[in-house]
Amino acid sequence: MTKESEIIKKRLTIFIGIAYLLLGFIVILQSFRGLTGFVIFEDVPQQIGWLAGVASIVVGIIVIAVSRGAVIVYDAKRARNKEHDYMLRDKHLLFGGEDLSLKEFKKEIHKLRESNDGEEMVNIVKTEYRPDLEQIVKDGGKNGEIAEEFLKVLVPSYKRREEEQEDNFRVSKEEKEEIKHAFRQFDGKLSTEQKNVLRKYNLTYDDSGRGPSAKIYYSGTEYWMTVGRTPSKPSGDYITHYLIGIIEQGRKHEKEKSKKAG
């Protein structure tokens, strides 16, 4: 049986479970026809109808529960290579119910993407596996690392929350343009625009020393750069580049400090 047909079979099983649920609700409603006027099966006694409806709902729940299963990942510790040792137990029965190594999982997902209805089939797999895998990642530990590797195969753009937070430290394109515009020229003294930009990004200008250079540092940290006290030719891109670096370092420092405090 092909992977596509296995996925379709899995979907049909879920639909059958839903059908049992709907039938159960309809039969229960039928058992109360005297109160609602809703009649489908005229000759079914009320008590029997009610019991049949409950039984149908129970069957529907069981069918859906069995078809959904739960994802399990583990380290087989055989080859000391995550491609072969990281394993996923196919509880959703989309790949024949067998345990798959990370390498095998990559191969199966690649086959699905190359098939006629590739992306649609992959989306079905995502629907079934992604929530369980993300929960395992959230739980942390070794299994979290393993689940993350499978998620990266299934969702190439996937990033852990920590990585998303890492991106939050970055200076955006608009912010870069604002900084670059403010420091397109620098004569050794800060203009009003430059002062406002430094204040906005939590930067402090320190010219208290006696040397030929002043410092710009991210407030509350040791991240800093030097700028000349006299008109400087390499302003613009040069200053922007280093300011962006200390802003990102400073933001990351604040996030980590806040995380430890929390």
Of residues 165 and 186, more confidently modeled: 186
Cβ neighbours around 203 below 10 Å, total: 22
pLDDT number for residue 63: 55
Q: What is the mean pLDDT of residues 249-253?
A: 89
| Contacts of residue 260, Cβ cutoff 8 Å, sequence gap at least 6 | none
For the cut 90, the answer to whether the pLDDT of residue 194 exceeds it is yes
For the stretch 102-126, pLDDT in tens is 999 898 888 888 877 767 778 878 8
pLDDT number for residue 12: 62
pLDDT number for residue 113: 83
Distance, CA of 51 to CA of 53 (rounded, Å): 5
Of residues 98 and 133, more confidently modeled: 133
Q: Where are the domains of the chain?
A: 3-68, 72-158, 170-261
pTM beyond 0.75, yes or no:
no
pLDDT number for residue 19: 72
- CA 154 vs. chain centroid, Å, equals 11
For the cut 70, the answer to whether the pLDDT of residue 99 exceeds it is yes
Of the pLDDT bands very low, low, confident and very high (cuts 50, 70, 90), residue 50 is: low
For the stretch 71-91, pLDDT in tens is 788 888 877 788 989 998 876
Q: What is the mean pLDDT of residues 12-29?
A: 66
> With pLDDT > 90 as the criterion, what percentage of the chain qualifies?
15
Contact 218, 200 (CB under 8 A): no
Contact 222, 207 (CB under 8 A): no
Write down the mean pLDDT value for the chain.
76
Q: Where would I find the H helices in 115-140?
A: 118-139
Of the pLDDT bands very low, low, confident and very high (cuts 50, 70, 90), residue 134 is: confident
Q: What is the mean pLDDT of residues 38-45?
A: 50
> With pLDDT > 70 as the criterion, what percentage of the chain qualifies?
65
pLDDT number for residue 199: 95
Contact 125, 109 (CB under 8 A): yes
For the cut 50, the answer to whether the pLDDT of residue 198 exceeds it is yes
